[in-house]
């Protein structure tokens, strides 16, 4: 009998916990979950999973990595890059979903030197969105436009925020403060967070507002020939104006202020005050809206290909939809790495998987098996306008 692949899952938050339970059900994997928060680990231990209390920013991580074959990064974004570096330095493979602000390709040389396959941004968006674009780009003669809309939302929004945070609230605030990069006219453009507000209708949901976020990430360099690319986050109507008021009033600033003799970062206070309003109650349902639109030339004609899903809370297991869609994309990639379907030293975002035989179908099949099914439609587009000039 072949030895099981030993998985160290780093982070037991909502998404990390969903990933841990999914991976632990695989007979070919042996999983240990590490986190510094005993309260996060306790429910997993009660389900029979192996857990380790450890400060993942400290020396305890070294011992955990020494006992695994493959690490899965599910830590908050501010810890993600440093954790990824330590995993690679230890010579361990990595599948990571953390939304860290640093450029993952800064670790590419180190990963190649260590012979490590490290897959980053392996969530739903970035993640599944990258995988789909990589697959479609390989089929089209030319991609002209890529747009991704994505949002994790409470099924029953309540005032005043009309929002709950289905993943790390620290990373949610990053979406409201980190400048958004996108491609317009073949050039990378940077806009302030929350810019580019538009409205979009979705079946089964209705009208949502969408704003630019920094979700293209690796796509800015791995598929640079696409002249128009955007990623937008979805919220219920009215939410963006409230967050803009907070931001513009300084409540989301990371610059410390002195208050009654104590240095305080406004964003830390805001997070503390917002968390009770943005925390999902046990059993409270959420949903995930996901739409990827790719336009270009395929077989000589211009086409639009649209990929869509609307996923909902799994009441049977108590798993939030955003944890499912993000986490199960990640666990599908863990499985394909563990089974040897992708093994290339270096840093690899999900669009690289599209160049390896069988990887796209494997991930989509794993998601479908868990009830996350992409609907696709194709539309013919008129030929591109041509302009002539006379003198």
pLDDT at residue 240 is higher than 60 = yes
Picking from 41, 61, 60, the residue whose alpha carbon sits closest to that of residue 51 is 41
pLDDT at position 190, please?
97
pLDDT tens per residue, range 103-127: 999 999 999 999 999 999 999 999 9
Torsion, Cα 46 49 54 60, to 10 degrees, reads 160
Specify whether the CB–CB gap between 167 and 14 falls below 8 A: yes
Distance CA 42, CA 49 (A): 10
pLDDT tens per residue, range 317-345: 999 999 999 999 999 999 999 999 999 99
Specify whether the CB–CB gap between 166 and 323 falls below 8 A: yes
pLDDT at residue 387 is higher than 70 = no
pLDDT tens per residue, range 12-32: 999 999 999 999 999 999 999
pLDDT at position 386, please?
56
pLDDT at residue 391 is higher than 50 = no
Instruction: Report percent pLDDT > 70 for the chain.
Output: 98
Confidence band of 390 (pLDDT split at 50, 70, 90): very low
Q: Which strands make up the sheet holding 93-96, listed edge to edge?
A: 50-53, 29-35, 5-10, 70-73, 93-96, 117-119, 346-348
- What sections of 224-298 are H helices per DSSP? 239-248, 266-278
pLDDT tens per residue, range 73-89: 999 988 999 999 999 99
Distance CA 175, CA 77 (A): 11
Provide mean pLDDT across the span 235-252: 95
Task: Indicate the pTM of the whole model.
Answer: 0.94
Confidence band of 99 (pLDDT split at 50, 70, 90): confident
Q: Which two tokens stand for residue 19?
A: 């990933």
pLDDT at position 168, please?
76
| Alpha-carbon distances, residue 319 vs 23, 48, 100 (angstroms) | 14, 17, 24
pLDDT at position 169, please?
77
pLDDT at residue 389 is higher than 60 = no
Question: Among the listed ranges 164-178, 287-301, 308-322, 342-356, which one has the minimum average pLDDT value?
Answer: 164-178
- Residue 351: DSSP 8-state: G
pLDDT at position 167, please?
77
| Cis bond upstream, residue 126 (ω within 30) | yes
pLDDT at position 113, please?
98
Provide mean pLDDT across the span 362-391: 84
């Amino acid at each position: 009998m072949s030895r099981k692949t030993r998985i160290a899952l780093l982070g037991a938050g909502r998404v990390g916990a969903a990933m841990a339970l999914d991976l632990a059900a695989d007979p070919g994997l042996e999983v240990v979950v590490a986190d510094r928060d005993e309260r996060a680990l306790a429910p997993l231990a009660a389900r029979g999973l192996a857990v380790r209390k450890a400060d993942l920013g400290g020396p305890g991580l070294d011992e955990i990595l020494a006992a695994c074959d493959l690490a899965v990064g599910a830590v908050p974004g501010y810890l993600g890059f440093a954790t990824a570096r330590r995993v690679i330095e230890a010579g361990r493979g990595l599948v990571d979903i953390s939304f860290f602000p640093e450029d993952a390709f800064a670790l590419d040389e180190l990963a190649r030197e260590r012979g490590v396959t490290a897959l980053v941004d392996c969530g739903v968006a970035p993640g599944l969105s990258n995988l789909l674009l990589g697959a479609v780009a390989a089929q089209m003669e030319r991609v002209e436009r890529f747009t991704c809309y994505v949002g994790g939302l409470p099924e029953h929004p309540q005032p005043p925020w009309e929002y709950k945070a289905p993943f790390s609230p620290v990373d949610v605030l990053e979406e409201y403060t980190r400048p958004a990069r996108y491609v317009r006219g073949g050039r990378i453009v940077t806009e302030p967070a929350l810019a580019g507000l538009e409205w979009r209708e979705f079946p089964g949901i209705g009208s949502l507002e969408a704003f630019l976020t920094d979700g293209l990430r690796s796509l800015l360099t791995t598929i640079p020939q696409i002249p128009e690319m955007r990623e937008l986050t979805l919220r219920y109507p009215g939410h963006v104006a409230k967050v803009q008021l907070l931001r513009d009033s300084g409540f989301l600033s990371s610059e410390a202020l002195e208050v009654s003799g104590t240095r305080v970062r406004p964003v830390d206070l805001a997070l503390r005050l917002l968390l009770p309003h943005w925390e999902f109650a046990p059993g409270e349902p959420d949903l995930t809206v996901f739409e990827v639109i790719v336009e270009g030339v395929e077989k000589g004609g211009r086409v639009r290909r649209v990929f869509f899903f609307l996923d909902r809370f799994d009441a049977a297991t108590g798993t939030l939809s955003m944890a499912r869609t993000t986490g199960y994309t990640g666990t599908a990639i863990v499985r394909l790495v563990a089974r040897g379907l992708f093994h290339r030293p270096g840093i690899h975002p999900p669009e690289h998987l599209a160049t390896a035989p069988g990887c796209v179908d494997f991930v989509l099949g794993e998601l479908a098996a868990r009830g996350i099914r992409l609907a696709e439609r194709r539309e013919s587009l008129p030929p591109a306008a041509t302009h002539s000039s006379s003198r």
